[in-house]
Amino acid sequence: MIQKKICMLGGFAVGKTSLVSRFVSSIFSEKYLTTVGVKIDKKSLVVGGQEVTLLLWDVYGQDEFQTVQQSYLRGSSGYLLVVDGTRRATLDTAAKLHKSAGEVVGDVPFVIVLNKADLEAEWQVDERGLWKLADQGARIVRTSAKTGAGVEETFLELTRAMLDGRGQDRS
């Protein structure tokens, strides 16, 4: 069995915790988010016949990446960059977080999560900015934590990318 640490990154109130809640059953309270600044959950998947356990580090919503949160990224095999489709500024925050995360964990797989797909009519995200970010090697997945749409796919996509990355590292 393979374990992988992944981090949930994104601006304040983009829906990171809601996405994780859609994906796993937590044993730790959400109060950890506001006290320690991170909440950890676990989800086991089978991807390509390989059993994988994801340790999800739901890092407290931030618009500025701080020292404490950076340390939570160490040893991460990948991360989800969550953007609120209805708030343009969250894309800029995601871009900054991506840059900052890269300094800590290097070139690891990540997936851009365009959340709140159920409010697509209210989207304000700049498509060009989104694709510019995606050009750095990430897939964009539209999700709705409210309906659950795209959530499972997001984690599967990141897991596949991480496992592929592991294969490339070994080759």
Partner 1 sequence: MGNQVVHPDSGAGGAPDDELQSIRSILIGPAERQLQTLQARMDDRFSHAREVGAVLPQALLNRAGDPELARALRTPVEHAITAAVRENPQPLADAIFPIIGPAIRRAVAASLAAMLESFNRTLEHSVSWRAVRWRVEALRTGRPFGEVVLLHTLLYRVEQVFLIHRQSGLLLQHARAGPARVQDAQMVSAMLTAIRDFVQDSFRVPEQDSLDSLQIGELSVWVEQGPSAILAIVTRGTAPQELRQVMQGAIEAIHLQYGEALDAFQGDAQPFESARPLLEACLQAEYRGTPSPPTRRVWLLAGVILLGLGVWLAFSVREQIRWGRYVDALRSEPGLVVISSGRSGGRYVVAGLRDPLARDPGAILQQTPLSPDDVVGRWDPYQALIPSFVLARAGRALAPPPETTLTFDDGVLRAAGSATASWISEARRTAPLIAGVSAFDDAGLVASTLSAVQRRIEAATLLFARGAPLLVEGQAERVNALAADLRELDALGAAIGRTFRVELRGHTDADGAAMANLPLSRARAERAVEAIGVRPGRHLDIRIGGVGSDEPFALGETEADKQRNRRVSVHVSETSSSQPGAGR
Q: What residues line the site for partner 1 (CB under 8 A)?
A: 1-5, 27-28, 32, 36-38, 40-42, 52-53, 55, 57, 67-68, 71-72, 74-77, 166, 169
Least separation, in Å, of the C-beta of 129 and partner 1?
31
Least separation, in Å, of the C-beta of 32 and partner 1?
8
Closer to partner 1 by CB, 44 or 124: give it.
44
Going through the chain in order, the beta strands assigned E by DSSP cover 2-10, 38-47, 50-59, 78-84, 110-115, 139-142
Closer to partner 1 by CB, 6 or 130: give it.
6
Closer to partner 1 by CB, 19 or 125: give it.
19
d(CA 30, CA 25): 12
Closer to partner 1 by CB, 117 or 162: give it.
162
Please state the φ and ψ torsions of residue 7, each to the nearest 5 degrees: -115, 145
d(CA 8, CA 16): 6
Least separation, in Å, of the C-beta of 65 and partner 1?
13
Q: At 13, is the secondary structure helix, strand, or coil?
A: coil
Least separation, in Å, of the C-beta of 2 and partner 1?
4
Tokens representing 135 are: 């050009």
Tokens representing 130 are: 């989104």
Least separation, in Å, of the C-beta of 5 and partner 1?
5
d(CA 79, CA 81): 6
Closer to partner 1 by CB, 108 or 141: give it.
108
